[in-house]
Amino acid sequence: MIAILDCRELKYRIQRKLNHRFGDDIKIKFEHDEAELMRDSQQCDILFIPDRLSLKSNSGYELCKKLHGKNPDCYVVVVGADHSEAYQGYLCGINNYIRADYVDEDLDRCLDSVEYIFRDKQYIDFKVIHSGAMKIDADDIIYVETSKRNTVIHTATKDYVSSMSISAMEQVLPTRYFIRTARSHIVNIHKIKEAEKTYILACACNERIPLSRSRKNDFMELWDKERRTDI
């Protein structure tokens, strides 16, 4: 997710540039205040913030440090900074800056730097009950499970109930990092912390996911491959 906090008239120029570069499928959210941003921090890939924020307790740079404490992988861009302010920002952990008089030029430079974040993004179309068709970034999904006659898609910030069967889910999710661990569950291999002796998986959301005996070998093969890739 790309978050834009309080960038006033520049936020729409930034939005148009992002859509032109990465397409309309990317998720862009206009955050209204610090509290809302902190709630979404784990889902935030890139944050655009102004150099001076009208916040009670934090400047933009202090907010950057606070955000990185919750999500160190977030790429923070300060909008409206001059060179001296940008240097101060780098000391606080910002990743890039956009000068007010050079928005298009600096934004192109920033987007060149963050293109890797979107290179492997894969958005999946799901039929969500009460919401209709919805695109969800596959990597945001922690696991999928059956619930009564429906299927629940679990992410770090929200659960989605879909009328799709779990078998249909299995067909559309990327097989390189999603695997069926039981008749009732599909898990994102990137979100696994450990596989326990009781054939239960401890997920990034601290939920325990069942792993059936018949599927254990396939799971361990994919999980071992993933861990070797991370080394």
AA letter at 127: K
β-pair type (75-79, 46-50): parallel
- Residue 134 falls in which region: left (phi positive, over 0), alpha (psi -120 to 50) or beta: beta
Can 2-119 and 123-230 be said to share one CATH topology?
no
Q: How would CATH label the architecture of 123-230?
A: Beta Barrel (2.40)
Binned at pLDDT 50, 70 and 90, residue 57 comes out as very low
pLDDT in tens, 5-40: 766 667 788 888 888 877 766 677 777 777 777 777
| Assigned token pair, 18 | 């992002």
What does the pLDDT read at residue 43? 73
The full set of domain ranges for the chain reads: 2-119, 123-230
Q: Tens digits of per-residue pLDDT, 108-137?
A: 888 887 776 666 667 787 888 877 777 788
Q: What are phi and psi of 60, to 5 degrees?
A: -60, -40
CATH code, residues 2-119: 3.40.50.2300
